[in-house]
Structure 1
Amino acid sequence: MEKDLERLKALRTIAPMNEILDHAEVAALAEGIGKAVLGETITQVIDDYRKQLLGDKSFAASMSHLSRQEITLHLVQELKDKLDAQDSTCLKKLINATGIVLHTNLGRAPLPDSAIRLIQEVNEGYSNLEFDLETGNRGSRHTHIEPLITRLTGAESAMVVNNNAAAVFISLNTLAKQRDVIISRGQQVEIGGSFRIPDIIASSGCTMIEVGTTNKTKPDDYAKAITENTAVLLKVHTSNYKISGFTEEVPLQDLVELGKIKNVLVMEDLGSGCLYDLSKIGLPHEPTVQEVIAGGADLVTFSGDKLLGGPQIGVIAGKKALIDKIKKNPFARIVRCDKSSIAALTAVLKLYMNPEKALAQIPALNMLALKEADLLLRAEELERQLQAALGERCQVEIVDVHDEAGGGSLPDVLLKGKAVSLTIDGLSANRLQELLRQEPIPIICRIVKDKVLLNVRTMSEKEFPLITQTMQNIVG
């Protein structure tokens, strides 16, 4: 009976909705999210509070001793926590301290400043997205990108879609629907999100013909599989894994020669989409789009947000007659790019006109090119700032680490890197990692040997003051 009275008292002490809405902190929130959303959220908070009172006797007992004003303060805090939780699920900026340059879960390639400026410029007002300024007639969104891609790659023509899977899909759907596509068993890759090349081929309306074995495929395997119904010889660059040892794959040039003899198209899905010779920065050579086009492929598809260092986009480059057919496919409208993606890619491709400029200004390329000496200087600066701010409250140390390209690129390459390790007495590494992740601008990091590591390759020095301030907030 006493417990029921406590519960009843706590329920009766809840202030009316209008009184909560008039609270100074709540009124300030209304300016940001609007009264309608705020009212709905307050209703949810009050409903949750009532349910907790009815279901938890000890909670009801503790709340029954509070005044109406104190309960209002409790509900206001619950409201703020709920809104913060909702905000945390929104897309937001974060700091990548993992050392993985093209981290798929963190948005892959950061864009260069010129791309961000052009995105802002074309979105602030109107643009010539599909307007021909010379004739005054309707234009094509392909015209902004195509000349840049053809000039850089040597292809006759090009177009862009919203990602590389779409590029492969629409190419096969246009050129090989209800016909056969021949592919090596060793190249039936799975890309991110459990999407697999065999599924994309099937979805495009084609029949996949497997040849060779997982580790060995020879030219004769393709030749024997070709029939009158064969439309495409598909080569897929295994950019996200490597098979080593007793292996053999058919070079592109051999497939091109076979395609010419049999009058069958040859298409390569290059995946990572490299336009820069990575051997120039000390990394293993990765096939470039230019090399594939020069090798005679009829079509090549590749991603924009991996080694190219641009936005999420899929590029199709190759013979003009084939690209023209793909542009007319009804699916082209479904998978087309918006003005922001086109603007970003335009700016990135313009940087590639000068390879030195591309290396200096495209963040992904620049991060991949960083040497140990550069990283040590960066780590020493972060260590200095952290030690100056935190003193003995946090143990800070520079350690050797291995970074990665990520994004399904250069899978067998480990980059020598540097990290700043953090240890706080009385606070576990897992808890510190969690707190860093819950900050307004989250810091995503790794744990190695019970220490939180901040890999400096994927952080810019302008982020160091924010990292230092965040650690001060945590340490207190």
Structure 2
Amino acid sequence: MKRRDVIKSLTALPLVGGFVGSLIPDVATAAPAAPKRDLFKELGVTPTINAGVTMTFLSGSLMMPEVLEAINSTSHDFANMYELQDKIGAKIAEMLHVESAMVTSGAACAMLLGTAACITGTDAEKIKMLPNLPGPRPEVIMQKTHRYLFDQAVSTTGAKIVEVEGADGMQKAINPNTVMALFFNAADKSSISHEDFVRIAKAKNIPTFLDAAADVPPVENLFKFQKIGFDLVTFSGGKMIRGPQSAGLLFGRKDLIAAARLNHSPHEAPIGRPMKVNKEEMFGMYAALKSYLERDHKKEWEDWLQRAKRIGTQLETVPTVKTETHIDPGPANAFPSLDVVWDFSKVKIKPQEVLAALKNGTPSIVANGNDKKLNIGVVLLRPDQVDVVAKRVKEVLQQAV
């Protein structure tokens, strides 16, 4: 299910209800200790169980313990932000086997900074004037089928997006005003392949940018696209890498990353100044990436499959309910979830009504679905929430029998 479809399906549902949880043993990850101060309750904010995918409006994902430790352990001292970005960028580049890297304020910020870098280079006057450069507007080429909500970050720089169709259309569109070519990794690939896209742009000396924000797992994607030849690549930090939601990664060519940094905070007047990243987020993003690369991904995948099986076994005790583990083909959200179907004449409730009941119940649970089936995400659940979700979905279905 696409991110925009999830948003549309959920915005109509009111956000009410509370949260309760029951612990189940899990040797890999313990449930968080009860906080001394309940800020959710104090502010009247509803804690939500995310049985869906990594969505920004649902605060992304839950940070790993290593990330929280990195944030807390670095919050007591000041740091020179230029030095910090230097040191963390160098470590991230080393981990990803690229020339250079930086931490950004999410993938959308990385898109803006990457575009700005391609427009301005290291020219201080251009950086100062962006997005109001004199003369013709800089142009960014995109396949027509790759246009999407988040390409507004590109036009924020003052650049004009030029839509093309196929390799031939791309070749014809490149002109002296072309500064970059943007490839949306989760888009339909039928118009052009990654390799042809890069080949055409390189022949014309045009930098290429790949937006792969939500495209891990698999972990190999963090290395795949720079090997193909993309000059700039971005991934979200707060999705399945499980870093701070407001952090992201931009990496690639050394000269372009240097220019992107000049367009960003802590420099005092560039277009990226409003998108600053604090030191705790930088340390947290470094810790998150390190943790992600060192993780046992096969074991994690097996755990996800077992979660789906565990929930499915409980739901299939309801008459006519059938479940099946679904593996999204990706490239975004390429991980297991659980499809749930039933005979509407026997269990008299539709999937959209189940979603509303889950969202408005206690605990408040967000899942996905359509007119034919319910889809329960398992990868973002805390271990103690697996049985909570199974029990609540089962209750909603049983009540309709």
Q: Shorter chain as normaliser: what TM range?
A: 0.5 to 0.7
Pairing 1:459–2:381 present? yes
2: distance between equivalents of 1:116 and 1:173?
32
**Using the alignment, how far apart are the partners of 2:59 and 2:319 within structure 1?**
29
Does 2:70 correspond to 1:118?
yes
Aligned to 2:323: 400
Matched, 1:336 2:276: yes
Residue 322 of structure 2 corresponds to residue 322 of structure 1: no
Which of 152, 163, 180 lines up with 1:210 in the alignment? 163
Aligned partner of 2:309 in structure 1 is 376
Distance 1:261 1:445 in 2: 46
Point out which structure has higher relative CO (alpha carbons under 8 A, 6+ apart): 2
Is the Cα–Cα contact under 8 Å of residues 152 and 290 in structure 1 kept in the other structure?
A: no
1:237-273 C-alpha deviation (Å, 9 max, x unpaired): 2x1x546xxx330433x44444443332222222324
Residue type at the aligned position of 1:324: A
Match of 2:174 among 215, 226, 230: 226
Deviation at 1:276, TM superposition (A): 3.6
Measure how far apart 1:341 and its partner are.
Answer: 2.5
Under a length normalisation based on structure 1, what TM-score does the superposition of the two structures give?
Answer: 0.56
Aligned to 2:133: none
For 1:261, the equivalent position in structure 2 comes to: 203
Matches within 5 A, 1:385-396: none
Aligned to 2:191, which of 248, 260, 263? 248
The amino acid across from 1:348 in the alignment is: A
Structure 2: tracts of 5 or more residues without a match: 1-36, 121-136, 264-269, 343-347
Q: Within 5 A, what are the aligned runs for 1:22-421?
A: 87-88=43-44, 90=45, 92-96=46-50, 98=51, 100-123=52-75, 126-128=76-78, 130-131=79-80, 139-176=82-119, 178-190=137-149, 195=150, 197=151, 199-212=152-165, 217-218=166-167, 220-237=168-185, 239=186, 241-242=187-188, 247-252=190-195, 254-274=196-216, 276-277=218-219, 288-312=221-245, 313-329=247-263, 330-356=270-296, 366=300, 370=303, 372-373=305-306, 375-377=308-310, 399-401=322-324, 410=332, 415=336, 417=338
Cα separation, 2, equivalents of 1:209 and 1:456: 39
SS of corresponding position for 2:62: coil
Q: 1:107 to 1:403 in 2, by over 3 A?
A: farther
* Alpha-carbon distance in 2 for matches of 1:332, 1:118: 25
**In the alignment, is the contact (CA less than 8 A) between 1:297 and 1:318 conserved in 2?**
yes
Cα pair distance change 1:121/1:379, threshold 3 Å: farther
C-alpha distance in structure 1 between counterparts of 2:371 and 2:234, whole Å: 41
Q: How high is the TM-score relative to the length of structure 2?
A: 0.65
* Structure 2 CA distance for partners of 1:233 and 1:452, relative to 1, 3 Å: closer
Which residue is 1:444 aligned to?
366
Q: Normalized per residue, which structure has more helix?
A: 1
Q: Which amino acid aligns with 2:257?
A: I
- C-alpha contact 1:418 1:456 (8 A) present in aligned 2: no
| Residue deviations 1:268-312 (CA, integer Å, cap 9, x gap) | 22232437447xxxxxxxxx2312212222222222233434332
Distance 1:417 1:469 in 2: 15
Q: Secondary structure at the match of 1:351?
A: helix
For residues 331 and 176 of structure 1, what CA distance do their matches in structure 2 show?
12
Report the Cα distance in structure 2 between the residues aligned to 1:324 and 1:448, rounded to whole angstroms: 45
RMSD of aligned alpha carbons: 4.5
Given that 2:110 and 2:234 are in contact with CA atoms closer than 8 Å, whether structure 1 keeps it comes out as yes
| 2:181 and 2:207 in contact (8 A); partners too | yes
Query: Secondary structure of the residue that 2:277 maps to in structure 1?
Result: coil
Alpha-carbon separation, structure 2, partners of 1:294 and 1:450 = 41
The one-letter code sitting in structure 2 at the alignment partner of 1:341 is E
Q: Secondary structure at the match of 1:346?
A: helix
Please say if residues 402 and 416 of structure 1, whose CA atoms lie closer than 8 Å, have aligned partners that are also in contact: yes
CA distance in 1, matches of 2:374, 2:203: 59
Q: Does the CA-based 8 Å contact 1:150-1:317 persist in structure 2?
A: yes
C-alpha separation in 1, matches of 2:370 and 2:253: 49
CA shift for structure 1 position 150:
0.8
3-state secondary structure, aligned to 1:308:
coil
Q: Would the aligned equivalents of 2:305 and 2:325 in 1 still touch at CA under 8 Å?
A: no
Residue identity in the other structure for 2:288: V
Q: CA deviation at 1:210?
A: 2.2
Q: 1:314, 1:107 → 2: CA distance?
A: 14
Distance change (3 Å), C-alpha of 1:309 and 1:404 = farther
- Aligned equivalents of 1:433 and 1:255: distance in 2? 40
- Structure 1 residues 378 and 172: alpha-carbon distance in aligned structure 2, compared to 1, 3 A threshold: same
Unaligned 5+ residue runs, structure 1?
A: 1-31, 34-82, 132-137, 279-287, 361-365, 388-394, 422-426
The equivalent residue for 2:16 is none
- Kindly indicate whether the alpha-carbon contact (under 8 Å) linking 2:182 and 2:208 is maintained by their aligned counterparts in 1: yes
3-state DSSP of counterpart to 1:315: strand
Sort the Cα spacing of 1:414 and 1:127 in 2 relative to 1 into closer, same or farther, 3 A. closer
- Aligned pair in 2 of structure 1 residues 228, 120: CA closer, same or farther (>3 Å)? same
Report which of the two structures shows the higher radius of gyration computed on alpha carbons: 1
Structure 2 residue aligned with 1:75 = none
